[in-house]
A and B are shown apart, each in its own frame.
Chain A
Amino acid sequence: MREKLIYVLATAASLLLARNLAMIFLHLPDEASQGMIYRIIFFHVPAWWTAMLGAIVALVASVLFLVKKDFRHDSLAVAATEVGLAFLTIGLVTGTIWARIIWGIWWTWDARLTSALICWILYGGYLILRRTVDEPTQRATLAAVYSIFAFVDVPIVWFSIRWWRTQHPQPVFGQGGFLEADMKSTLLWNFLAVGLIGVILLLIRLQQEENLREIDALRRETHAIS
């Protein structure tokens, strides 16, 4: 059942990607000052939005686990965090490469980049924390508590360009975005594609987490029999 869902989503994502890539490279005009490099925005921004969504899902799953003690929520939390971390990495790397061209520097310590890097470190720390705890219930509980604390950085990342004057550009949507209409629509379409890829990876990772728990149960069974 889940496998069929994954195949359907994968097909949809591939078609969307094909359409979007055609749009990005063949149809859209160039940006005046940046040349071709601006086209990276169509992956840079969706990657970040997906990562932020992953963080929100992880938060909700963590809170639900603490309330209901159901291990499926714990599985969702770790899956969402891991997939979110992958997209965080993509966002950071594409941003860095883009920055090198348009700002001339690889990195700067403005509010948005700093808080984004902290977000990366925090969610990486979540995965490391999970590795150091062997007992499943304790691991899930501690990880859930940590995830709730870690999420406090996410609004800072999101709103940093509104609250401070940053090197990073101002919001694209919302007050006075600088994108033309067809660029905006391509951006949203590609967000759908990238988001779908995220969902597919999440489902795969969820399945793996359930398999891991089954292995734990099987291990206990072999120990019980012997």
Chain B
Amino acid sequence: MDTRNFTFMFYGFLAAWLILVLYVVTLVSRERRIKQEMKSLRSMIEDRGHA
């Protein structure tokens, strides 16, 4: 296999996957934030409902 330009090709693939991973990470962190807020809101409603 001709291995010319291997470094740049590696960087290319790395960049593509990194961007994808970065986006997935933002999705996951947003998910965590959403779940936390939902939990706190739901508990707030329960407290108010019982009070």
Contact = CB atoms under 8 A, between A and B. Distances in A.
B27 A201 contact: yes
Q: Is the interface of A mostly helix, strand, loop or mixed?
A: helix
Contact of B41 (A34, A39, A219): A219
Contacts of A57: none
Interface in B18-33: 19-20, 23-24, 27, 30-31
B20 A197 contact: yes
Interface stretch (A145-153, A176-184, A205-213): A205-213
Contacts, number: 91
A175 interface: no
Given A93-B19, A201-B23, A222-B48, A37 B34 contact: no
Nearest to B10: A36
B9 A37 contact: yes
Contacts of B16: 40, 43, 47, 90, 93-94
Interface of B: 1-6, 8-9, 11-13, 15-16, 19-20, 23-24, 27, 30-31, 34-35, 37-38, 41-42, 44-45, 48-49
22 contacts: A34-B5, A36-B3, A37-B4, A37-B8, A40-B9, A40-B13, A43-B13, A47-B16, A83-B23, A90-B15, A90-B16, A90-B20, A94-B15, A97-B11, A98-B8, A98-B12, A100-B8, A208-B27, A208-B30, A208-B34, A218-B38, A225-B48
